[in-house]
Amino acid sequence: MPNGLNQRVSIRINGKAGLTRGFLKSHFVTIITIMDTPCPDPFVRRARGLTLIELLVTLAIAAILSTLAAPSLKEFIVRSRMNNVTSEFSGAVLKARNEAVNRNVCASMCLSTTAMSDEPSCADSGTDWQTGWIVFLNPTCDSAKIDPSLSDVIVARGSTDERIHLENSDAAYLHFNARGNPKLSATRIFKLTYGTGEDDAMTQRFGLNVCLDSMGRTRTIPRDKACAAYN
């Protein structure tokens, strides 16, 4: 049917066609015309974007969700980093102990501020092992050796986060004999803290203590517990 044109409908009544207008009116028959209107395709959808109100509501919801998620994300990152420090420290102690036994030679582990330099050495003093540490073979079994040759260094770990601390008030040096024994007179405790220390909210939530016994074995316990009293 041509677009925009009206079409006359031919009506047949009792076999007669072409009835007059008067007859149609008298018999209440209505002439029907059909407009040539294009039918919408049910499979075609109109593209529709966002209104300004919808966009503002979406942005507001996103901002609220971001605000709620930010503290949880920070806590997750802090907890992961603190756990990594304890895991790496315990792994370094185990490495020194195993190397001493496997090679039948002494091994040492010490706090180091130059662990990532070309010539790593032990620090003269310090209590925060998070500063860094090195593990090295000690063929002469010299428990005072602080400047190993580079070929003897088997682990060198520098500081990763200055806000994390692993404190120990004893000498910042561990020496393992060929049997893997550090010959400690008592268990050493290493306190893992964050930020300002014991009073920091992150320390209270994620702080730990690392215990090193006389056999060179480590274990982690809650920060408010003592190594000897906690089983």
Q: Where are the domains of the chain?
A: 6-35, 69-222
Report the C-alpha gap between 137 and 124 in whole angstroms: 19
pTM value?
Answer: 0.71
List of residues 6+ apart from 194 with CB closer than 8 A: 78, 82, 163, 164, 165, 200, 202, 203, 206, 207
Q: Which helix (H) or strand (E) holds 157?
A: strand 153-158
Percent of the chain scoring above 70 in pLDDT: 78
Task: Just give the CATH number of 69-222.
Answer: 3.55.40.10
Q: Which of 45, 89, 36 is nearest to 218 (CA)?
A: 89
The number of beta carbons lying within 10 Å of the beta carbon of residue 173 is 16
Q: How confident is the model at residue 39 (pLDDT cuts 50, 70, 90)?
A: low
If you average pLDDT over residues 39-49, what whole number do you get? Answer: 58
* Most trustworthy range by pLDDT among 17-21, 32-36, 128-132: 128-132
Least confident segment among 9-13, 54-58, 192-196: 9-13
Least confident segment among 3-7, 179-183, 206-210: 3-7
Report the C-alpha gap between 163 and 182 in whole angstroms: 29
